[in-house]
């Protein structure tokens, strides 16, 4: 029950956010958002394949006696991976800016670089709670994620800073 509720809340948060953005953003801004989302989805899939999926298998089987240090190491690994990826995106932004001047895509890439660790952290923490057999904590985290997304986008819209480049 809790795991299904967690999945519903987490997926529902992303779905509702997409619906609100489609309603609030202009067609051009929505296109920029789609480019940013595609970039982030690529990095999320790489991270999921190389980190999250192995956690579900290796933690319970190979690290049963050292579970907490292993999972703590995975949280550290998130930042050790996402910071260089963010720097790589930042360098791409710099090269693009030097070659083409400032454009919407540079803003999208810059925002993606900065937000990457914060987008990957909820995915990791949900997996950690499932490995620890604590789906209720994953559900609480998903509710916090949902409320956080709603607040961020509400205030961004309210103060007219919501564009495709930063959503």
- State what percent of residues in the chain have pLDDT above 90: 19
Report pTM.
Answer: 0.77
How much is the pLDDT for 88?
82
Sort 60 into a burial class: Cβ within 10 Å, 0-12 / 13-18 / 19+.
middle
How much is the pLDDT for 160?
66
Residue 21 has pLDDT above 90, yes or no: no
Dist. CA 11–CA 8, nearest whole Å: 5
Helical pair 104-131 and 2-24, crossing angle rounded to 10 deg: 170
Residue 163 has pLDDT above 60, yes or no: no
Tens-digit pLDDT profile for residues 33-81 = 888 888 888 888 888 888 888 887 877 777 778 888 888 888 888 888 8
Tens-digit pLDDT profile for residues 91-138 = 877 887 788 776 667 777 777 777 888 888 898 899 889 988 999 999
């Amino acid at each position: 029950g809790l795991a299904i509720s967690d999945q519903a809340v987490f997926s529902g948060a992303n779905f509702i956010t997409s619906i609100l953005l489609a309603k609030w953003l202009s067609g051009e801004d929505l296109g920029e958002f789609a480019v940013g989302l595609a970039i982030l989805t690529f990095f999320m899939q790489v991270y999921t394949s190389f980190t999250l999926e192995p956690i579900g298998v290796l933690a319970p089987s190979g690290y049963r006696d050292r579970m907490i240090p292993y999972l703590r190491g995975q949280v550290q690994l998130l930042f050790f991976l996402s910071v260089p990826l963010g720097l790589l995106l930042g360098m791409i932004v710099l090269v693009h800016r030097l070659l083409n001047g400032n454009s919407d895509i540079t803003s999208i890439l810059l925002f993606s670089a900065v937000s990457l660790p914060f987008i990957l952290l909820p995915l990791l923490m949900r997996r950690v709670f499932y490995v620890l057999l604590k789906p209720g904590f994953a559900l609480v985290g998903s509710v916090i994620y949902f409320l956080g997304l709603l607040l961020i986008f509400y205030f961004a819209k309210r103060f007219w800073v919501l564009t495709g480049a930063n959503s």
